[in-house]
Amino acid sequence: MVENLASSGVISKEELSRLPGVPSQERLKKGPVAVIECAEQIPCNPCETACPKGAIQVGEDINSLPVLDEAKCTGCGLCIPACPGLAIFVVDVTFSETEALLQIPHEFLPLPQKGGIVNCLDREGKVVSLGKIIKVVNPKSYDRTPVVTVAIPKEFAQDIRAITQGEENGNDSYLRKER
């Protein structure tokens, strides 16, 4: 049952909890790990191919949902730009006392700069906090899907999934700030 996702495009916590690509609370507490928010049987397996540790399994029927082997996953993030659906994130709740690190794909201009402050949006696109850019990675192998690492308040680690750059940064006319 995926009512919320199917009717609004926003996956609910409850729907998320049933996905084989979403790590357990215990695993999350141990450090960076991939969160695969892929809830639909799509003929697709680049995530499996991309993982150097063999931590993601889709299997012979590539329509199967990706299964995360959370023991093998190191949270390297190579699966993030590989996912055509941009549905994989890496969450590290051990970053600091108050902050979590979030790695997200971000295919928009202008690319945020290290140290920059950005608005952080939840799955509905609501700004829930500010975040600080820790790292922006965009090698050729990522094929124009830059991966942005942003430090966010820990309590929103399972909510924030996108960033926009605020007006104060003098850009970003293309993203809605609120609904």
Q: Which positions lie near another protein, rule CB under 8 A? A: 2, 5-11, 37-46, 49-50, 61-63, 82-87, 107-109, 111, 121-126, 143-145, 161-162, 164, 173-179
Nearer to another protein, 49 or 113 (CB): 49
Closest to 21 in 3D by CA, of 162, 30, 51, 29: 51
Backbone angles phi, psi at 121, to 5 degrees: -115, 145
Report in angstroms how near the CB of residue 48 gets to another protein at its nearest: 8
CA atoms within 13 A on the CB side of 163: 35
Min CB(66)–another protein separation in Å: 11
In whole angstroms, the minimum distance from the beta carbon of 72 to another protein comes to 20
Strand 67-68 to strand 127-137: parallel, antiparallel, or no bridges (unpaired)?
unpaired
- DSSP H helices, 51-110, are 79-82
CB of 129 to another protein, least distance (A): 14
94 vs 145 by CB, closer to another protein: 145
Which is closer to another protein, CB of 59 or CB of 71?
Answer: 59
Say how many C-beta atoms besides its own lie within 10 A of residue 143's C-beta: 9
Token readout for 30 is 């141990």
Comparing CB distances to another protein, the nearer of 48 and 70 is: 48
